[in-house]
Amino acid sequence: MRLILFFNGWGMDSSVVEKVELPKDTEIKVINFPYKLDNLEEYFTKYEDVFLVGWSFGSYYLTKWVLVNREIKNFSKVKKIVAINGNGEIIGKFGITPKIFEFTLSTLTPESLIKFYKNMEISEEFQNPKKEFKEILEELEYFKNGYTALENIFTEIIIGIRDKIVPASRQKKYCEESGIKYRELDMGHYPFEFIKAWSEVIWILKKSLIHMMRMLIFKNQ
């Protein structure tokens, strides 16, 4: 069995990935704010392979989590650490401009939050997180008060080329300067209008695709 530990984005709940298809023999644990995960050794003992994925601010909190926990027993079971539209330096030259972050925080209202969702390219069918506005605001304040740039821990970063929240050009610069493999996808900041299966994130191919690829390789030899 495989496990995906998914560190969710700011203000979100588990509903954002309910319709994202899981590969066979794979389970997912969604980690929302305040990003606490109990019984760590159980996860790293029970599963053969572990994939760590963070989206947006969840990528930052995943970075913090890895830096604290990478010495635990069986951490070698982690096969990939993937960020989607995020990194460990998500405020500053590799992410959101500090002035824009401060402006967003200081002027945030329920109405401006809806506009923020639209800038993320969330569809009209999107179900707003089951959180009170006060909770969402407090999450952002908590992030600001605890933020400090962190070293890179990612093996790969997925970048939405139309990301208006964490500018794609800055994400790409981060990858190039840090020597991180990256993929650019035709999407905005919210990835799950485009990404419909976790196999697209962690590159687990279905057996039929593996067979087809092997046949193509054999044919070209």
Distances (CA, A) of 2 to 50, 58, 72, 90, 135: 6, 21, 18, 28, 32
The angle at the Cα of 83, spanning 78 to 84, to the nearest 5 degrees, equals: 140
Residue 17 is which amino acid? V
pLDDT of the chain, 221 residues: tens digit per residue: 999 999 999 999 999 999 999 999 999 999 999 999 887 888 888 999 999 999 999 999 999 999 999 998 899 999 999 999 999 999 999 999 999 999 999 999 999 999 999 999 998 777 778 899 999 999 999 999 999 999 999 999 999 999 999 999 999 999 999 999 999 999 999 999 999 999 999 985 444 343 433 334 344 44
Angle made by CA atoms 34, 6, 31, in degrees to the nearest 5: 25
Select from 17, 46, 45 the least CA-distant residue to 31.
17
Pairing type for strands 2-7 and 26-31 reads parallel
Would you say 44 and 74 are in contact if contact means Cβ atoms under 8 Å apart?
yes
Q: Which domains does the chain have, with CATH numbers?
A: 2-220 (3.40.50.1820)
CA angle (181, 123, 158) in 5-degree steps: 5
pLDDT at residue 109, as a whole number: 98
Torsion of CA 137, 139, 145, 150, to 10 degrees: -140
pLDDT digits (tens, 9 = 90+) for 56-110: 999 999 999 999 999 988 999 999 999 999 999 999 999 999 999 999 999 999 9
The dihedral built from the CA positions of residue 84, 90, 94 and 100, taken in this order, carries a sign that is positive
Residue 177: its pLDDT value, please? 96
- Sign of the Cα torsion 114, 147, 70, 80 reads positive
Burial status of residue 215 (CB atoms within 10 A of its CB: 0-12, 13-18, 19 or more): exposed
What pLDDT digit, counting tens, does each position of 5-15 carry? 999 999 999 99
